[in-house]
Chain A
Amino acid sequence: QKEVEQDPGPLSVPEGAIVSLNCTYSNSAFQYFMWYRQYSRKGPELLMYTYSSGNKEDGRFTAQVDKSSKYISLFIRDSQPSDSATYLCAMSMNRDDKIIFGKGTRLHILP
């Protein structure tokens, strides 16, 4: 079983829809959870950073962590064509520990 599982997609949704991206993980020791966005031919860009369980909102983005189910989600409201990118979940056990990434989900927002 891989440490972090993420559906590669592609996921295609119409503009304006709510997008839900998810990751599952096997290591219950993970405490720090991140979401990165990566455009083609660019490096990943940090979108959301959360510690432990709960929700965090930033503009149109909401990150959700359910440690009891070992499941994290990223919701994008009012999706725009500019949101089309690959989204990678990432997590680590401690603040100074190495970060484990999911393989990413390719998202296409259709105008």
Chain B
Amino acid sequence: KAGVTQTPRYLIKTRGQQVTLSCSPISGHRSVSWYQQTPGQGLQFLFEYFSETQRNKGNFPGRFSGRQFSNSRSEMNVSTLELGDSALYLCASSSRTSYNEQFFGPGTRLTVL
């Protein structure tokens, strides 16, 4: 079974730009969660989508948004990028019956200059 895939793997942007990251979950998984990982704050929950609906949300500003498509693929968008948005963005998928058992992708490393 193929794992969680994320594209692109690396991204360099400048302040003020916007960025879209993509995540394809494990086949059959309908829940996709997004996390931001930085050395200072660790792994922080952004939001979770299940069946195209946002089910949980973390404490991030509205510049961070996401969506999920009918095939469970998910995208995350960050608008008006700030230097502090530089981080590893991870997505994780899980099945409906076992949400807590999350399978992570390799992440997208975003650098904001």
Partner-B contacts on A (CB < 8 A): 32, 34, 36, 41-46, 49, 88, 92, 95-104
Asked whether A99 lies within 8 Å of B42 as measured between CB atoms, the reply is: no
| Most central of B42, B100, B104 by chain A CB within 10 Å | B100
Asked whether A99 lies within 8 Å of B102 as measured between CB atoms, the reply is: yes
Known: A44-B90, A88-B43. A98 touches B56 (CB 8 A): yes
Nearest 10 pairs of A and B residues by beta carbon? A43-B104, A103-B42, A101-B43, A98-B56, A98-B45, A44-B104, A32-B100, A43-B106, A96-B99, A43-B105
A-B contact count (CB 8 A): 55
- Chain A nearest CB from B15 CB (Å) reads 25
Asked whether A43 lies within 8 Å of B107 as measured between CB atoms, the reply is: yes
**Which chain B positions have C-beta within 8 A of A103?**
41-43
State which of A45, A95, A101 has its C-beta within 8 Å of the C-beta of B42. Answer: A101
**Which chain B positions have C-beta within 8 A of A96?**
55-56, 99
State which of B42, B44, B98, B99 has its C-beta within 8 Å of the C-beta of A104. Answer: B42
State which of B35, B42, B58, B100 has its C-beta within 8 Å of the C-beta of A34. Answer: B100
Asked whether B104 lies within 8 Å of A45 as measured between CB atoms, the reply is: yes
Asked whether A97 lies within 8 Å of B56 as measured between CB atoms, the reply is: yes
Q: Given A43-B105, A103-B42, 17 more contacts at CB 8 Å?
A: A32-B100, A43-B90, A43-B104, A44-B90, A44-B104, A46-B101, A49-B100, A49-B101, A88-B43, A95-B98, A95-B99, A98-B56, A98-B58, A99-B33, A100-B45, A101-B35, A101-B44
**Which chain B positions have C-beta within 8 A of A102?**
42
Asked whether A42 lies within 8 Å of B106 as measured between CB atoms, the reply is: yes
Question: B3-44, CB under 8 A of A: which get 1 and which 0?
Answer: 010000000000000000000000000000101000001111
